[in-house]
Chain A
Amino acid sequence: MSVEITSPAFKQNVAHALDDVNLQTALAKVGPGFISRRLGAADKMPEFEALRDSARDIKNHTLAHLDLYMERFEAKVKEMGGHVHFAVDAAEARDIVTDICRRLGAKTVTKGKTMISEEIGLNDHLAARGIEPVETDLGEYLIQIRGEAPSHIIAPAIHLTKDQVEADFRRVHADLPPERDLSEPTSLLAEARGKLRQRFLAADVGVTGANFLVAETGTSIIVTNEGNGDLTQTLPKAHVVLASIEKLVPTLEDVSQLLRVLARSATGQEMSVYTTFSTGPRRAGDADGPGEYHVVILDNGRSGMLAGQLREMLRCIRCGACMNHCPVYHAIGGHAYGWVYPGPMGAVLTPSLIGIEKGANLPNASTFCGRCEEVCPVRIPLPKLMRHWREKEFERHLTPAPQRYGLGVWGFFARRGWLYRPATRLAMGALALLGRTRGRFSSLPLAGGWTKYRDFPAPEGDTFQAQWRKRKERETLARAEAAAARGDAA
């Protein structure tokens, strides 16, 4: 909910996450579930890999001509009676939304799922100005009543167990009869829906995110599984769409291609349950719809990414597959990343938005196993982009001193084979001697990070290169002797 940045304290966050029994229980289900569902959906579609290529190409094309599509989109929205607002940073975006709310005398604002709202810290900002934000996505609602931030970009409350949710409902919903059974997810959903129905009707402004902005038609599109987005945007006086610049797509045809990879990559569904298209405010004769339609397009540092290597990150369609397949995310969950965007996509995007000084841990905390890149529907080379950040960090001498020093010493030797080989022989000889009884070490100087958790094998003895050369010498000698012996005999 807030935009407090704890990424610099990543290691403390990790320790906390690993000790959190509820979190670990919740996380245990994340990997296997998402992974098998995505695989099932991909396997059922022979053209899935080709679709990923075309999804990548559509986004690349859009980013290459972003200014044109932005203009087209703005013109179309105006033509349909709506408004487009460009926000350079979070503060501007917040002010735009607040102004709309104030002008309409809004007391409550319903919200469909939007990560941009998290990025700009909208809820706290509105609340401080006497406007109550009400999250209507079940997951978002849950974390709102807990005063937490989302821990996943499509499943914001994935860090919670069912028991925690039940306890929260009983705590917050004062009129909930104690005997009401809340043991099933469906009963939890029904309970939340009952509470939210009144809020939908009373809301003055509805704020949603957007999965896509269509330049051709001036349409914003959201996909949800709960249908809360529809009520959020049609019932109030005004619908405000929060989106960032990379959500643009040229045509509805392009969107239909992207939708085919989005849900399959995200949840393994062929399509999300609701795909909602919004174009302009209610027209004369429409049965319902908002009186005003606003699109706030946020930059917040993204246009700076367009020029360099990180541009590829702007292809992201926020499916969450990279975190669903990430061993680090599976181990620590989303909050440990310390800001709005977790997992591999966050490890690349966060330093762009909050600065590498604060975000340095994130691109470093990856094993580079490559599974995120393997599943990303728009083929973002996430490890390569994380490495890009490591390079920036190294260039600017931000790499932590022990690591930089260790690397320097190692690099010095590795670049000088004539020193490296005798040095490794000596070191290995000594270590082999020390470790010969047990064959391994349970503590080693300078290797505490390793030996705190695992044993380290003792070297077998002399290095391979030295042994190989000795063997070759012996063979040459033996051949010479054999030849000499033959010569004698002749």
Chain B
Amino acid sequence: MHPASPTETDAGKTPRVGLFCTCLVDTLRPSVGFAAAKLLEEAGCEVDVPRQTCCGQPAFNSGDRATSRALAEQVIVAFEGYDYVVAPSGSCAGMIKAHYPELFVGDPDWMGRVDRFCAKVFELVSFLVDVRGVARVAAAYEGTVTYHDSCSGLRELGVKRQPRALLATVDGLSLVEMGEADTCCGFGGTFCVKYPQVSDAIVGKKADHIDATGAGTLLAGDLGCLMNMAGKLQRRGSPVRARHVAEVLAGMGDGPAIGEPAPSGKA
């Protein structure tokens, strides 16, 4: 959706990418961060992980503008030196790209700076395909997978065909589409704990669609949605395993899936 903008990165020069790892990947599933870094390096980028906390979305969606603004400033200061800022999450990238400007409206000291910053923020898989022109990956994954379109990536950033295009080049992998792949999984950030019953009803339907595909693996581009769906599938005893799409694309899909123990109980 956002074509490559060769602003600071002259052709041939190695772009420096600041990896925004997201709170969930940072704390719960670092392997997604390493997969993202690997994919970015393979796409000819130099990857750095500056010190970071959160993009501020939980505060923003809870109506706490002061905290969101403070966190947005923190992110901009930490990341604006890079040629690109990439997150393995449509939700966090969407928060920055689509919503940061709202937080600085009417502030002439920041507005231009924020717009310039947001222009170089991308979701991982769409960055690889649309900006870096990656057409195939060198990865193998045996089995049938199904892919869930996470809402922010889909609707705020236009992430839909890019992950499917790259998955089609993974050796041994076949993709079977679930019904209503583009319907919300019911995660919704704080929504799932504020209205757990509604969230459960929504993710229950999602789990039905996933199970109905007969796929062995569920993939998506956002860890929040994945934890929600994986948690529901596991609770109802479904054999479907869930992974972040980056793990499979990076050829790192052989570790424990989400919510599975490490072999021999090693943490």
A384, A387, A420, A460: the one within 8 Å of B53 (CB): A420
The interface stretch among A138-146, A183-191, A267-275, A362-370 is A362-370
State in angstroms the CA–CA spacing of A460 and B53 once bound together.
18
The interface stretch among B25-33, B107-115, B123-131 is B25-33
28 A–B contact pairs at CB < 8 A?
A: A18-B198, A18-B201, A327-B186, A331-B201, A332-B198, A370-B151, A371-B151, A371-B183, A391-B63, A392-B63, A407-B64, A410-B54, A410-B58, A411-B67, A420-B53, A421-B51, A437-B261, A447-B193, A450-B192, A453-B235, A454-B228, A454-B232, A454-B235, A456-B227, A457-B258, A461-B267, A464-B33, A468-B21
Interface string of A204-228 (1 = CB under 8 A from B): 0000000000000000000000000
Question: Are A428's CB and B27's CB within 8 A?
Answer: yes
Question: Are B198's CB and A449's CB within 8 A?
Answer: no
A164 at the interface (CB under 8 A from B): no
Q: Which residues of B contact A328 (CB under 8 A)?
A: 198, 202
Question: Are B184's CB and A371's CB within 8 A?
Answer: yes
A443-473, CB < 8 A from B = 447, 449-450, 452-465, 467-469
State in angstroms the CA–CA spacing of A452 and B235 once bound together.
10
B214-267, CB < 8 A from A = 227-228, 230-232, 234-235, 256, 258-262, 265-267
Least Cβ–Cβ distance between A52 and chain B, in angstroms: 15
Q: Which residues of B contact A435 (CB under 8 A)?
A: 261
Given A391-B65, A454-B200, CB of A439 within 8 Å of CB of B155: no
B65, B197, B260: the one within 8 Å of A439 (CB): B260
State in angstroms the CA–CA spacing of A124 and B34 once bound together.
64
Question: Are A417's CB and B58's CB within 8 A?
Answer: no
Q: Which residues of B contact A44 (CB under 8 A)?
A: none
State in angstroms the CA–CA spacing of A432 and B232 once bound together.
20
A364, A390, A414: the one within 8 Å of B56 (CB): A414
Per CB-CB distance, the 8 closest pairs between chain A and chain B, nearest first, are A367-B188, A454-B231, A390-B63, A394-B63, A439-B261, A464-B30, A369-B184, A449-B193
A350-384, CB < 8 A from B = 364-371, 373-374, 384
For the residues of A in contact with B, the DSSP-based class is helix
B9 at the interface (CB under 8 A from A): no
B54, B62, B231: the one within 8 Å of A414 (CB): B54
Q: Which residues of B contact A417 (CB under 8 A)?
A: 51-53, 74
Question: Are A403's CB and B190's CB within 8 A?
Answer: yes
B61 at the interface (CB under 8 A from A): yes
Question: Are B188's CB and A368's CB within 8 A?
Answer: yes
B199 at the interface (CB under 8 A from A): yes
Tell which of A332, A455, A469 has the most Cβ of chain B within 10 Å.
A455
Question: Are B30's CB and A463's CB within 8 A?
Answer: yes
Q: Which residues of B contact A459 (CB under 8 A)?
A: 27-29
A64 at the interface (CB under 8 A from B): no
Question: Are B201's CB and A332's CB within 8 A?
Answer: yes
A213-266, CB < 8 A from B = none
Q: Knowing that A391-B63, A403-B62, A437-B261 are A-B contacts, what are 12 other residue pairs whose CB atoms are under 8 Å apart, sorted by A's residue number?
A: A31-B183, A365-B195, A367-B186, A387-B60, A407-B67, A413-B53, A415-B71, A436-B265, A449-B193, A460-B28, A460-B267, A467-B34
A424 at the interface (CB under 8 A from B): yes
Question: Are B196's CB and A453's CB within 8 A?
Answer: yes
B58, B234, B265: the one within 8 Å of A437 (CB): B265
State in angstroms the CA–CA spacing of A462 and B25 once bound together.
11
A residues neighboring B (CB under 8 Å): 11, 14-15, 18, 31-32, 327-328, 330-332, 364-371, 373-374, 384, 387, 389-395, 399, 403, 407, 410-411, 413-415, 417, 420-421, 424, 427-428, 432-433, 435-440, 442, 447, 449-450, 452-465, 467-469
Least Cβ–Cβ distance between B252 and chain A, in angstroms: 12
Q: Which residues of A contact B196 (CB under 8 A)?
A: 449-450, 452-453
A420, A433, A460: the one within 8 Å of B30 (CB): A460
Q: Which residues of B contact A461 (CB under 8 A)?
A: 30, 267
Q: Which residues of A contact B202 (CB under 8 A)?
A: 327-328, 330-331, 367
Least Cβ–Cβ distance between B134 and chain A, in angstroms: 22
A330, A393, A403, A424: the one within 8 Å of B26 (CB): A424
Q: Which residues of A contact B200 (CB under 8 A)?
A: 452-454
Least Cβ–Cβ distance between B150 and chain A, in angstroms: 9
Q: Which residues of B contact A415 (CB under 8 A)?
A: 53, 67, 70-71, 74
B152 at the interface (CB under 8 A from A): yes
Q: Which residues of B contact A389 (CB under 8 A)?
A: 63
Q: Which residue of B has the minimal Cβ distance to A436?
A: B267
Q: Which residues of A contact B23 (CB under 8 A)?
A: 414
Q: Which residues of B contact A413 (CB under 8 A)?
A: 53
State in angstroms the CA–CA spacing of A369 and B267 once bound together.
34
Question: Are B25's CB and A464's CB within 8 A?
Answer: yes
Q: Which residues of A contact B61 (CB under 8 A)?
A: 368, 387, 390
Least Cβ–Cβ distance between A155 and chain B, in angstroms: 20
Q: Which residue of B has the minimal Cβ distance to A421?
A: B51
Q: Which residue of A has the minimal Cβ distance to B184?
A: A369
B187 at the interface (CB under 8 A from A): yes
Question: Are A368's CB and B191's CB within 8 A?
Answer: yes
Q: Which residues of B contact A457 (CB under 8 A)?
A: 28-29, 227, 230-231, 258-259
B203 at the interface (CB under 8 A from A): yes
Question: Are B261's CB and A436's CB within 8 A?
Answer: yes
State in angstroms the CA–CA spacing of A62 and B231 once bound together.
49
Given A327-B184, A460-B29, CB of A411 within 8 Å of CB of B199: no
Least Cβ–Cβ distance between A366 and chain B, in angstroms: 7
State in angstroms the CA–CA spacing of A382 and B265 once bound together.
46
B161-202, CB < 8 A from A = 180, 183-184, 186-202
Least Cβ–Cβ distance between A124 and chain B, in angstroms: 30
Question: Are A449's CB and B194's CB within 8 A?
Answer: yes
Question: Are B62's CB and A394's CB within 8 A?
Answer: yes
Given A399-B63, A415-B70, CB of A367 within 8 Å of CB of B184: yes
Question: Are B188's CB and A366's CB within 8 A?
Answer: yes
B135 at the interface (CB under 8 A from A): no
B59 at the interface (CB under 8 A from A): yes
State in angstroms the CA–CA spacing of A467 and B186 once bound together.
31
